[in-house]
Amino acid sequence: MVSVEDRILVVGGGAAGMIAAIMAARKKKKVELYEKNEKLGKKIYITGKGRCNITNASDLENIFANIVTNSKFMFSSLYSFTNEDTIKFFDELGLKTKVERGNRVFPVSDHSSDVISTLEREMRNLGVKIHLNTEVTCLQEKDGRVTGITLANGSFVEGSAVIVATGGLSYPSTGSTGDGYRFAKEFGHEITPRYPSLVSIHLQEEYVKELQGLSLKNIEVTVTAGEANISEAETENQDQGKKGKKKKKIPEGKELYRAFGEMLFTHFGVSGPVILSGTSILLPFLNECELIFHLDLKPALSYEQLDARILRDFEEYKNKQFKNSLEHLLPQKLIGIIITLSEIAPDKQVNAITKEERTRLVECLKNMTFRVARFGGFNEAVVTKGGIKVKEIDPTTMESKLINGVYFVGEVLDLDALTGGYNLQIAWSTGVAAGRAVAEN
């Protein structure tokens, strides 16, 4: 019979939960992990398009630079378990890794299932008791200290500590339905507003449907502020002459985001690395103003250089119609759209195109403009932006400052980063911090 003093309960069998269980079990603690799904690591399974971008191999300065929210909170846990430690951890367990473009680290096998099986195998080797298809409905406490958990079937499980690793709200089909926020709230924790982050962007222009499936490399995107959004309440106050706290307007035309890289057109808008990262930065502005999306198809060339390039092409195709002169400059799917936007007659002879028309064409290529309709939802979000306020969590141990013996790790916290393996590194580092801390208490 395991004494309550030695039993550590982990709620959630994702990345943070599994590594926390491993670290506690390595310190000879009796660990039980509760996962409401039928298998472990459902979100890991779909990470990195099924390949699982485990971490990023760049230096720690870059890791911190890519943590968008509350990066300072991560100092202790990330320095205690770095990205190099993550790679070494998996290597010692027999999972070989490789580094790809952007310092992204993947399993050599390219199978996320190998990451899950590696973690599960180590847990079982250490004697971690894994309960699948078992939902935790609440945490119990007495005199300011956790006493255990209550399961969906009504039974109570005693424990000396509980690690909450339930994830956020992203990909709810994987079981991330916000349970951890509810547990935290019941103990008085503040939950910051939550938004889907690292998502696609929906555009207003109908013609984007014609570009579906088009992948572009070496492009630059810029998002600027459009007209300010005024809420109904603000409008009513203005109409009635009421004085309230005025929101600082974002100047129209102000640059909010700029990035170089790859993107993809979808049936409703745009996605891909530079888009996903952009949404994380742009979320705070979404309700403040209209967002204008600018696409530079030829960022390596200045306006003058691009005009000279077009002139050379036109010289080669001088006896052709305009619609047949752009195949060396643009992907086939873009040609028709650019012709329409340039307002140059498609059947016009190339040698009859005026300088003014050519200037319009250069502008279309350097500044293809769209209006943002909305961002994708939680069903496609890579991570949740927002969560348990980190000021109420000990950054060294991940223990709650409001209730003894409860630890919160991973996406349930108000922490998020850009794409590239950084969010999983947050999960590993916070999970390790909690797993080690419960074993020492």
In which band, very low, low, confident or very high, does the pLDDT at 379 lie, cut at 50, 70 and 90? confident
CATH topology (fold) of 4-195+386-438: FAD/NAD(P)-binding domain (3.50.50)
pLDDT given at position 11: 98
Three-state SS for 352-405 is HCCHHHHHHHHHHHHCEEEEEEEECCCCCCCEEECCECHHHECCCCCEECCCEC
Q: Is the pLDDT of residue 171 over 70?
A: no
Tokens 């630079």 found at:
65
pLDDT value of position 118: 98
Task: Tell the residue number behind the tokens 């039980």, with chain if given.
Answer: 32
pLDDT digits (tens, 9 = 90+) for 388-402: 999 999 999 999 999
> What is d(CA 196, CA 365) in angstroms, rounded to the nearest whole number?
31
Encode burial over 357-383: b for 16+ CB neighbours within 10 A, e otherwise. Answer: ebebbbebbbebebebeebbebeebbb
Task: Give dist(CA 424, CA 410) in Å, integer.
Answer: 8
Give Cα 302 distance to the centre of its chain.
Answer: 32
DSSP-derived 3-state class of residue 43: helix
Question: Does 244 score more than 90 pLDDT?
Answer: no
Sheet of 97-100: strand order equals 55-56, 104-107, 97-100
- Res. 363: pLDDT tops 80: yes
Is residue 195 a contact partner of residue 283, using CB atoms and an 8 Å limit? yes
- Taking the CA atoms of residue 399, residue 402, residue 403 and residue 405 in that order, the dihedral angle to the nearest 10 degrees is 10
Secondary structure letter of residue 271 according to DSSP: E
Is a pLDDT exceeding 60 seen at residue 237? no
pLDDT range class, residue 275, cuts 50, 70, 90 = very high
Cβ pair 441, 162 in contact under 8 A = no
CATH of 304-366, one of 1.10.10.10, 1.10.8.50, 2.40.30.10, 3.50.30.30: 1.10.8.50
| pLDDT for position 205 | 96
Domain boundaries 198-230+250-299+371-375, corresponding CATH code? 2.40.30
Mean pLDDT of 247-258: 89
Segment 38-64 shows an average pLDDT of 94
Query: Hunting for tokens 């279309």 — which residue is that?
Result: 364
**Residue 29 pLDDT greater than 50, yes or no:** yes
Q: Give the dihedral of Cα atoms 34, 40, 42, 44; nearest 10 deg.
A: 110
Structure tokens at 210: 């014609």
Question: 240 or 366: whose pLDDT is higher?
Answer: 366
Residues 89-115 have a mean pLDDT of 97
CA dihedral 91, 95, 98, 102 (to 10 degrees): -90
Average pLDDT over residues 120-129: 98
CA distance 118 to 87: 13
Confidence of residue 287 (pLDDT cuts 50, 70, 90): confident
* 255, pLDDT greater than 60: yes
φ/ψ (deg, to 5) at 201: -115, 130
The CA distance from 287 to 291, in Å, is: 9
Report the Cα–Cα distance between both ends of the chain, in Å, rounded.
21
Residue 5 has what pLDDT?
A: 58
Q: What angle do CA 40, 34, 92 make, to 5 degrees?
A: 50
235 pLDDT tier (thresholds 50, 70, 90): very low
CA distance 382 to 199: 7
Q: Could you give the 3-state DSSP secondary structure of residue 145? A: strand
Instruction: Output the pLDDT for position 380.
Output: 86
pLDDT at 88 > cutoff 60 = yes
- pLDDT score of 200 more than 70: yes
Identify the pLDDT of residue 382. Answer: 86
- Closest by Cα among 148, 70, 16, 31 to 395: 70
pLDDT band, residue 2 (cuts 50/70/90): very low
Average pLDDT over residues 190-219: 95
CA distance 342 to 61: 44
Average pLDDT over residues 55-84: 97
Q: What percent of the chain has pLDDT over 90?
A: 85
Inform me whether the pLDDT recorded for 239 exceeds 70. no
Residue 240 has pLDDT above 50, yes or no: no
3-state helix, strand, coil in the chain (%, to 5): 40, 25, 35
Instruction: Compute the half-sphere exposure of residue 5: CA atoms within 13 Å on the CB side of its CA.
Output: 2
408 exposure class (CB count in 10 Å sphere: 0-12, 13-18, 19+): buried
Cα distance between residue 212 and residue 264, in whole Å: 8
The residue ranges of every structural domain in the chain are 4-195+386-438, 198-230+250-299+371-375, 304-366
Pick the more confident residue, 2 or 263.
263
Average pLDDT over residues 151-176: 89
Q: How confident is the model at residue 249 (pLDDT cuts 50, 70, 90)?
A: confident
Would the pLDDT of 236 be above 50? no
Q: Are 404 and 145 in contact (CB under 8 A)?
A: yes
Q: What is the pLDDT of residue 141?
A: 96
Pairwise CA distance, residues 247 & 314, whole Å: 51
CB atoms within 10 A of CB 17: 30
pLDDT digits (tens, 9 = 90+) for 318-339: 889 999 999 999 999 999 999 9
At position 370, the amino acid (one-letter code) is: F
Q: pTM value?
A: 0.87
Residue 3 pLDDT: 52
Amino acid 142 reads: K
